Amino acid sequence: MIEPVYTPSADRYENGMEYRRCGRSGIRLPLISLGLWHNFGSHQSMQNVKAMAHFAFDKGICHFDLANNYGPEYGTAEENFGRLMKESFAPYRDELFISTKAGHDMWPGMYGEWGSRKYLMASLDQSLRRMGLDYVDIFYSHRYDPDTPLEETLQALVDIVRQGKALYVGISKYPPEAARFAFRYLSQQHVPCLLFQGRYNIIDRHDETGGVLDLCQENGSGYIAFSPLQQGLLTNRYLDGIPEGSRMSENKFLKPEVLTPKMMEILRMLNDMARRRGQSFAQMSLSWLLQNPKVSSVIIGASSIGQIQDNLLALHASPFDEEERSAIDNISRPVWI
């Protein structure tokens, strides 16, 4: 049977999505972006991969976040995204903002991780081949490498832009001093950093308390938050145990040990507060981030269309008043990372 050709929703930009400018740049991103770290690799059904990506684009989510090793297996989220490009999104390439990254473990030997020029250049070439793209919109150094001269990593990013393989560059999870150096180096080369990608949510505030958010503002870089739901912890997913098939049930990136009695008490209190605000817990966690103008966008993960649908309602949340903000701070402070 021939599958019908995908036609995106005609009102995808009038569906309630909002767009926010990234630092000092010409780029506006959807407030909610979709990440393909989990649930988009070769272990997943292509039907669900397609359904979630189509649904997201239909709702105005035009930013998809990838990395070389997203899967599992490594590389397969990019391969599946390449299939989506070919079968669905090719006519809409100029409406999409696609990222990839290199920095973590990808292939064996001396040149398959960290921050060398050799690794970054080879990895991006592989990513482009897997996704069937001529260029990505943004290429990130995925993590700070303390053993490679930062100039080498950053100059590779600059040269990647000069080669036309990425339009913009970004850095992820850099410590504040390294980020400061990177912002300066890149702007001196006239390839300013478009985005800092960091983990930020109600219980992980190290980029806020450590000054990264302010540093981004001072340097004209956007800030995009990953794991805004702390991988599902800041939702109703684990309030009544560990569901089969959930990320925690895999016991890899999200471990059951985090569900201490203290954590459970805090999650229940936050969930009660969300209910009082007339929101799901996930929606409250996202709207808490989105109401901070220093955040350019949040990158959600999802395993179903229903989760994306739930999360999109965060865009229509009522603003937090001072009392609610300090209540969230007080409830969550004992588990701040």
Q: d(Cα 7, Cα 54) in Å, to the nearest integer?
A: 9
The smaller minimum CB distance to ligand NDP, of residues 88 and 207, is found at 207
Residues 41-80 that bind ligand NDP (CB under 6 A): 65
Q: For residues 255-280, b (16+ Cβ closer than 10 Å) or e, as one string? A: eeebbeeebeebbeebbebbeeeebb
Q: Is 295 in the site for ligand NDP (CB under 6 A)?
A: no
The residue among 131, 159, 216 whose CA lies nearest residue 182 is 216
**Smaller CB separation from ligand NDP, 145 or 310:** 310
Per rule CB under 6 A, is residue 307 in the interface with ligand NDP? yes
Which residue among 237, 267, 279, 297 contacts ligand NDP (CB under 6 A)? 237
Considering beta carbons, is residue 14 or 153 the nearer one to ligand NDP?
A: 153
Of 90, 28, 40, 47, whose CA–CA distance to 65 is shortest?
40
Among 266, 299, 314, 317, binds ligand NDP (CB under 6 A): 299
Considering the complex, what minimum distance in angstroms separates the CB of residue 112 from ligand NDP? 17
Q: Are 169 and 191 in contact (CB under 8 A)?
A: yes
- Whole-angstrom distance, CA of residue 187 vs CA of residue 170: 12
Does the footprint of ligand NDP cover residue 137 (CB under 6 A)?
no
Considering only residues 231, 271, 296, 332, which one is a binding residue for ligand NDP as defined by CB under 6 A?
231
8 A C-beta contact, residue 202 and residue 285: yes
What residues have CB less than 8 Å from 64, skipping those under 6 apart? Answer: 33, 34, 35, 36, 53, 56, 81, 96, 97, 98, 99
Nearest distance from C-beta of residue 298 to ligand NDP, angstroms: 8
Token pair in block for residue 269: 């209190």
| CB nearer ligand NDP, residue 91 or residue 272 | 272
Q: Which of 150, 228, 328, 335 is the binder for ligand NDP (CB under 6 A)?
A: 228
Residues in the chain: 337
Residue labelled with tokens 């930062």: 150
> Which of 45/323 has CB closer to ligand NDP?
45
Closer residue to ligand NDP (CB): 67 or 161: 67
Is the preceding omega at residue 78 within 30 degrees of 0, hence cis?
no
At residue 191, φ and ψ (nearest 5 deg) are -125, 70
**Can residue 197 be called a binding residue for ligand NDP (CB under 6 A)?**
yes
Among the listed residues 44, 235, 279, 296, the single contact to ligand NDP using CB under 6 A: 235
Out of 221, 230, 279, 287, name the contact with ligand NDP by CB under 6 A. Answer: 230
Question: 22, 29, 32, 35: which one contacts ligand NDP (CB under 6 A)?
Answer: 35
Q: Which is nearer to ligand NDP, 219 or 307 (CB)?
A: 307
128, 160, 266, 300: residue in contact with ligand NDP (rule CB under 6 A):
300
127 close to 68: Cβ distance less than 8 angstroms: yes
Residues that bind ligand NDP (CB under 6 A): 35-39, 65, 142, 172-173, 197, 226-232, 235-237, 246-247, 282, 299-303, 307, 310-311
